[in-house]
Structure 1
Amino acid sequence: MDILADELAQARASGAVFSVLTRNAPWGLEFSGTRPLTAHLLLKGSGWLELSDGPPISVRARDVVLVTAGTPYRLVSAPGTPAEPISEARSAGSTACEPEAVILCGAYVIEGSIGDSLLRALPRAAVLEAAQLAPRHAAAIDLLAAEAATEGPGQQALLDRLLDLNLVYTLRAWWSRPDAEPPGWYRAGADPNLERVLQSMHANPADAWTVTTMAAVAGMSRAAFSAHFTAVVGQSPARYLTALRMRRAEDALTRTNAPLSRIAADAGYRNEYAFATAFRRLHGVPPGRWRCQTRDLPVSR
C-alpha cells in the first residue's frame, strides 16, 4: 500500500484551478487565507508573497507556492504594491494582452482529521523554487502552463488533474528537505522494515495488532522494533496505531451514518463500549455527541 496515496484518498484531497490571470506591473492580488490549502504558480513573470508576519518572499516563474489556512496574504508584483481582492480580480478577468505575469491560483479540498494531519506537516507557506523541482514535476508544470495558455474542450478538468499532480510532487519534494517536518509515516518510508509494518497497519488497521506482531512483520525483536519505531516515527507503535484507528473512526463518524458498533469494529475495537471509552479519552465527549457537533460545523472551502 502507498501510504501517501492512502492518506490523500482518505482526506478526499482534490484540487481545482479557480483562476488564471494575466497582469502587467504594478499588480497585486489579495487572498482571505481561509482555504485549507491554496496553490499559486507564476507561469510567467515574477512577484512576491506577502504574509501577515515575516518579510516578503520572492516568487519567480514556475516556482510552486502552497499556503495553508491563516490570516489574509497577498501576491504582488513588488513589495507594498496595492492589491485587489481575488474575487474582484476574477470578475475583472485578465487585463493584459501581452502580459508580464501569468498567475495561476488553485485550491485543494482536504477534509477531516486525516486532512488536518497532512496540513499540520506543512508550514504556513511552502515555496519550491523552479530550479529545485524534479524533472517530472517540472514537466507537469510545463504542461499546466501550456494548457492554461490555450482553450479547448475539457480544459478545466485537465487543469484540475494537473493541479492534483502538483500536490503530490510538491509534498514529495517539500518533505524531502532537511528542514521539513514530514509526518512520521513519511519518514519511515526510508526504512524498508518500518515501511512494511506501516503499510500493513494502514491496509488493515482493525487487525489484532500488538507490538509483538508488528515487530514480527518488521523482522525485528520486540524491544529493538519499539525503540526504532518511536525514534523514527516520533511516537510509540501503540500510540500510532490508536491515532490511525481514531482518524479512520472520525472519518466514518463524519461521512457516514454507520452505527457505532460497526465503526468500532472497523476501527479495531472489540465492542462499541471500548471504542467509546477510547474516543472520550481523546476528545472529551462520546463519539455520538462528537458526530452531531462535527456535522453542525460549516465545511471550509
Structure 2
Amino acid sequence: MDVLSDQLARARARGAVFSTLRRTAPWGLGFTGRRPLTAHILLDGTAWLTAARAEPVRLGAGDVVLATAGEPYRLVSGIGADAETITDARRRGSDHGPGPASHILCGAYVVEGSVGRSLLESLPRFARIPAPAQSPRHRNAIGLLAAEAGTHGSGQQVLLDRLLDLNLVYALRDWWQRDEDRAPGWYRALAHPGLAQVIRSVHERPELRWTLQTMADAAAMSRAGFAATFKEVVGQSPGAYLTELRMGHAEDALLRTDATLASVAAGVGYRNEFAFATAFRRTHGLPPGRWRTAHRQATAGREAGDHAS
C-alpha cells in the first residue's frame, strides 16, 4: 500500500478553489490566510511572498509554496506593490498586455479530520520548495500542469484538479525529505524496513486484531525491540498509533457514507458498537452519531461558502 496516497485521500486533499492568472508588472494578489492549505506555483516570471511578520521571500519560475492558515499575505511583483484580493483577481481574469509578466497558479485545498491535522502540523506557515530542490518527477508534473493551464478543452478543470493533487504529493514528499524532523512519524517509519511493513499492513487492514505481538511479528522484531523502535521513530506507541489510525478511518466513514455505527465499528476493528462509541467519544468528546451530524452540517456550510466566493 502507498501510505502517503492513503493519507492524502483520507485527508480529502482536493482543489476547492482554483485559479491560474497572468499578471504584468506591477501586480499583486492578496490572500486572507484563512484557508487550511493553499498551493501556489509560479509557473514563470518572478514574485515576492510577503507577510506582516515574516521576511519577504523571492520566488523564481517553477517554485512551489504551500501556505497553511494564518495572517493575511501577498504575492507581488515587487515589495510595496499594490495588491487586489484573490477574489477580485479571479473575477477580473488574466492580464494580456505587453511587459514583464508572471503566471501564477493557486489552488486551495479541503483538508479535514485527524489525518488532515497531522499533515498540516508537519508544515510551517510557508513551505517553499524551490525549483532546483524539486525531484525530476515533480518538475515534470509542474511542466505538465503549466502546459494544461495554458490551454482550453473539455474536462480541463477536472484534469487541472488532478494535476494539482499530484503537485501536493510531490511537494509534501520533497519538503519532508528536506526537513525530516518535521515529517509525520509514519513517513519517517517508511525508511525503516521492519516498521515500514507494519505501517503498510495496518493501513491496509486496520480492522484486523492487531496486538503488539502481531505487529512485532510483521516487523520481524522482538516485542520489546519493536515497541521501543516504533516509539522512537514514530513518536508514539504502536497502540496509540493504531487507535489514531482507526479513528481516522472511522471519521472518513462517518463523513462520507451512511454506514451504520455497527458497520463502522466492525470496519475499524472494534468488536461491537459500544466499544467503538466509547473509544470514539474518548478521542473526540462526542459520540459518533452526534459527531457525524455536527461535522456534516459544518462541511456543508463551508462548501456553500466556497462555491459562493
TM over 0.5: yes
Alpha-carbon distance, 1:66 to partner: 1.1
Alpha-carbon distance, 1:153 to partner: 4.0
TM-score of the two chains, using structure 1 as the length reference:
0.93
Determine helix, strand or coil for the equivalent of 1:277.
helix
Q: How does 1:1-301 map to 2 (within 5 A)?
A: 1-15=1-15, 18-98=18-98, 99-178=100-179, 180-297=181-298, 298-299=301-302, 301=306
Q: 1:292 to 1:162 in 2, by over 3 A?
A: closer
Determine helix, strand or coil for the equivalent of 1:160.
helix
Q: 1:15 to 1:295 in 2, by over 3 A?
A: closer
Asked if the contact 1:174/1:180 (under 8 Å) is kept, the reply is no
* Matched residue type, 2:196: E
Whole-Å Cα distance in 1 between the matches of residues 8 and 84 of structure 2?
33
Whole-Å Cα distance in 2 between the matches of residues 132 and 249 of structure 1?
37
TM-score of the two chains, using structure 2 as the length reference:
0.91
Moved more, 139-148 or 8-17: 8-17
Q: 1:147 to 1:293 in 2, by over 3 A?
A: closer
* Matched residue type, 2:271: R
Q: 1:279 to 1:156 in 2, by over 3 A?
A: closer
Whole-Å Cα distance in 2 between the matches of residues 197 and 245 of structure 1?
15
* Matched residue type, 2:61: A
Alpha-carbon distance, 1:149 to partner: 2.9
Which digits, 9 at most, give the CA deviation of each residue in 1:144-189, with x for residues without a partner?
A: 2223233344433332222122111111100111365111110001
Whole-Å Cα distance in 1 between the matches of residues 288 and 163 of structure 2?
38
Alpha-carbon distance, 1:16 to partner: 6.0
Q: 1:87 to 1:212 in 2, by over 3 A?
A: same
* Matched residue type, 1:9: A
Asked if the contact 1:17/1:163 (under 8 Å) is kept, the reply is no
Asked if the contact 1:64/1:127 (under 8 Å) is kept, the reply is yes
Asked if the contact 1:30/1:83 (under 8 Å) is kept, the reply is yes
* Matched residue type, 1:253: L
Asked if the contact 1:11/1:111 (under 8 Å) is kept, the reply is yes
Determine helix, strand or coil for the equivalent of 1:147.
helix
- Percentage identity across aligned positions? 60
Alpha-carbon distance, 1:113 to partner: 2.7
Alpha-carbon distance, 1:275 to partner: 1.4
Which digits, 9 at most, give the CA deviation of each residue in 1:1-28, with x for residues without a partner?
A: 1101111122232236722222222110
Whole-Å Cα distance in 2 between the matches of residues 146 and 180 of structure 1?
35
* Greater than 6 Å deviation, 4+ residue runs: none
Unaligned runs of 5+ in 2: none
* Matched residue type, 2:287: P
Whole-Å Cα distance in 1 between the matches of residues 255 and 117 of structure 2?
14
Asked if the contact 2:180/2:188 (under 8 Å) is kept, the reply is no
Alpha-carbon distance, 1:193 to partner: 0.6
